[in-house]
Chain A
Amino acid sequence: MLRIRGMLAGIEMGAAYPFTGVGPGQQAYYFDHYSELIRERSYENAYSFLPARIRPAVQNTTKYPISYSNPHNLFIMAWAETGVLGLIAIVGIVAVVMVRALGTLWRLRDSEAPLVLYFFFPSFLGLFIFQMVNYFSLHPWFWTTLALVYAATRDADSSSSHRAV
């Protein structure tokens, strides 16, 4: 529940500053205000569009200050802190690496050559899924794994083209 409140607060924060966000590393200073707005809207039945199963968790008056919660999502955090430009950049980086890695894995699905990508890609996927419900993007594990997936993809691509030659 505190994660959903945090995510909604992050979306509100970004909507208030859509082009620049509140600034990198600044969401903690703004969070309580937006968390309070989400809490306040519980009195107005503002989340009637949410599925009935989730709604009671969002639509209640429990207080979640920054010491309890945060936007809890990589993309929402990017939207809240850096606005639409930062969000496009983050989505772009992640999408390029994932699409390329998936393409390579698909292309080499019948290959018997050992690929480090088989290890790095699932590792990255695990960290990425974790990022969807918990803010983790400042941790070096995520970016290191992302870089390793990219490098492993390039390595697999160049090895397969050499073999083809």
Chain B
Amino acid sequence: MRRRYIRSLALLSALVLVLVLVTAQTVSRGVATKATNDNISDPCSELLTVADFIRTCPSAAAQEGLRVRVDAVALSTLSKCSVSVTARGAYTFHIFANVFRDAASALARFHDRTNNVVDGLAIPPGNELGFGEASALHHAFGGPELDFQREHVYVEISPSGGFLCSDGDLRTLGRLLYERVSRFEPYAG
């Protein structure tokens, strides 16, 4: 009985492991998932702290369990610095800094993301917020989202669900990040 149990468990584990390995390998094929150089890791880890976030979005101070998590990822044409600000109750706030080789690629991404966001909704191009080479504040995904481009970096700031930062505070945070993204060197991969 015991031997049969162990044999079944081993067979099940082997089957699950093979399935998992094949699936994960296929989905992640050919794409690096961790930053391979420090060009992005260091400035990414310094992009935003909890203290910065509370200073720029004071309403978040009341949230319990506020924390910041940073991931730097190298992909084939750009590096991505992903900053998650989360609070208890699954309130999430995400900042994605996309670091390209040149400003033209970053601007192209800005136009792609702001002109094709949701069916038929085009966000007027330009520099509405008075900072960044191109910037836009919109509500295409339910909550507010601030997008801007500075040189070779394109940034999306989006409070998922919109609970952690108001529209007005989002501009203040955007200005802080506009200064900080200048630390990113162009993508060299």
Mark A residues whose CB is within 8 Å of B.
8, 11-12, 14-16, 18, 28-33, 36-37, 40-41, 43-44, 46, 49, 61-63, 65-68, 79, 84, 87-88, 91-92, 95
- If the complex has contacts A16-B33, A32-B92, are A65 and B16 also in contact, measured as CB distance less than 8 A? no
Pick the contact of A62: B13, B69, B118 (CB < 8 A): B118
Q: Is the interface of B mostly helix, strand, loop or mixed?
A: mixed
Given A88-B13, A91-B12, CB of A32 within 8 Å of CB of B29: no
Q: Tell whether, in the assembled complex, residue A8 and residue B27 are in contact, meaning their CB atoms are under 8 Å apart.
A: yes
Chain B residues with Cβ below 8 Å from A88 are 12-13, 16
Contact B84 A87 (CB under 8 A): no
Is the CB–CB distance between B160 and A66 below 8 Å? yes
**Known pairs A61-B113, A63-B141, A65-B158; A32 contacts B12 (CB<8 A):** no
Interface residues on B, range: 35 or more
A–B Cβ pairs within 8 angstroms, 12 of them: A29-B86, A30-B69, A32-B92, A41-B75, A46-B29, A61-B113, A62-B117, A63-B140, A65-B141, A65-B161, A67-B143, A88-B16
Check if B122 is an interface residue, CB within 8 A of chain A.
no
> Which positions 14-40 of chain B face chain A at CB distance < 8 Å?
16-17, 20, 23-24, 26-31, 33
Give the residues in chain B near A87, CB-CB below 8 Å.
Answer: 16, 20
Chain B residues close to A by CB (< 8 Å):
9, 12-13, 16-17, 20, 23-24, 26-31, 33, 69, 71, 73, 75-78, 80, 82, 84, 86, 90, 92, 94, 96, 98, 112-113, 116-118, 140-143, 158, 160-161
Partner of A12, one of B28, B78, B86, B117: B28
Extra pairs beyond A37-B80, A66-B161 (11, CB < 8 Å):
A15-B27, A29-B84, A32-B84, A32-B94, A33-B71, A33-B84, A49-B29, A68-B141, A84-B16, A88-B13, A88-B16
| Nearest residue, chain B, Cβ from A28 | B90
Across the interface, name the chain B residue whose C-beta is closest to A41.
B31
Main SS at interface, chain A? helix
Report yes or no: A95 in contact with B12, Cβ–Cβ below 8 A.
yes
Q: How far is the CA of A46 from the CA of B84 in the complex (A)?
A: 24
Instruction: Flag if A67 contacts B160 (CB, 8 Å).
Output: yes
Asked whether B96 lies within 8 Å of A43 as measured between CB atoms, the reply is no
Complex interface: chain A residues within 8 A of B77 (CB): 43-44
Which residue of B has the minimal Cβ distance to A15?
A: B24
Q: Cβ of A16: which chain B residues have Cβ within 8 Å of it?
A: 33
Closest 5 CB pairs of A and B: A28-B90, A15-B24, A65-B160, A29-B86, A32-B94
Provide the residues of chain A in CB contact with B158, threshold 8 Å. Answer: 63, 65
Task: Provide the residues of chain A in CB contact with B69, threshold 8 Å.
Answer: 29-30
CB-CB < 8 A to B17: which residues of A?
Answer: 84
Q: Do B141 and A44 touch across chains, with their CB atoms under 8 A apart?
A: no
**Chain B residues whose CB sits within 8 angstroms of the CB of A63 once the complex forms:** 117, 140-141, 158
**A28: chain B residues within 8 A (beta carbon):** 90, 92
The reply to whether B75 and A44 form a contact with Cβ atoms under 8 Å apart is: yes
A12 and B27 contact, CB distance less than 8 A? yes
Contacts A12-B27, A16-B33, A46-B29 known; A36 to B96 CB distance under 8 Å?
Answer: yes
Check A14–B75 contact: CB distance below 8 A: no
